Amino acid sequence: MKRLALLIPLVILLVGCGSKSDTSGGSNTTEGTTTMDCVIGGDKSKAKLANLDESKTYDIVVDTNKGSFTFELATTTSPCTTASIAGLVQKGFFDGLTFHRIVPGFVIQGGDPAGNGSGGPGYSTVDAPPQDTQYVKGLVAMAKGGNEPAGTSGSQFFVVTGANVGLDPDYAVLGRVTEGLDVVEKIGALGDSNEQPTERVEIKSMKLQAR
């Protein structure tokens, strides 16, 4: 099976993006999960997890210079990961960053403040994915280092652009694309043989929406 290092971890889930979320954030999460419970490494003072209402469904709208796409957060499957990413979105962490790695037919990866696959938010969370997780087109997951536990994540995320890329269940599930898959596919075509973008693909903004 393929494995992705921190540069491109791909995991996408077929379940868990439902109307009910058991994620939380801020100082504490719904279902009693706290920031201290979620953060497993780095500087915990940098972790400002979003306080997500378990009765609502949350979407993140990603506006890029190549168009926009939306993905629904998998709050039930990954409460710590989704609360962390939502918190980063709320403070504008991703605005102005790029998709620094593009592998046609595989994934697009962004969310790195360093722009080279080595950066993150200064802390990490963990949500081990279900063993039957399949990384199929439109799934959004989190990248991690090869020596980190399954489901570890910082800020780097990827969107699967291949039909089924055959990854092991090592990458925390973030959600699934619900709108703008054509934009994801367009971005996914902008990679060369070295997995580098052939054009700058910038994240102009990421916005959290509840419904």
Q: What are the per-10-residue average pLDDT scores of the chain (211 residues)?
A: 45 37 36 72 93 95 98 96 97 98 98 95 96 96 94 98 93 98 98 97 98 95
* pLDDT for res 34: 63
Predicted local confidence at residue 23, as pLDDT: 30
Tell me the CB-side half-sphere exposure of residue 9, using CA atoms within 13 A: 32
What pLDDT was estimated at residue 21? 34
Residue type, 202: E
Domains, in order of start, for the chain? 30-210 (2.40.100.10)
User: Which of 165, 164, 115, 110 shows the shortest CA–CA distance to 142?
Assistant: 110
Q: Could you give the C-alpha distances from 82 to 3, 24, 52, 102, 123, in angstroms and in order?
A: 22, 8, 9, 23, 14
Tokens 């962490």 sit on residue: 93
Q: 116: buried, middle or exposed (CB in 10 Å: 19+, 13-18, 0-12)?
A: exposed
- Report the 10 Å Cβ neighbour count for 15: 14
Q: Tell me if 29 sits within 8 A of 51, measured CB to CB.
A: yes
Mapped onto helix, strand or coil, the DSSP state of residue 178 is strand
- Which amino acid is located at 175 in the chain? G
How far are the Cα atoms of 80, 192, 211 from residue 151, in angstroms, in the given order? Answer: 10, 28, 27
Per-residue pLDDT at 4: 56
pTM of the model: 0.85
Q: Is the Cα torsion angle 150, 23, 87, 60 positive or negative in sign?
A: positive
Amino acid at position 115, single letter = G
Residues 6+ apart with CB under 8 A from 188: 102, 104, 105, 107, 108, 159, 161
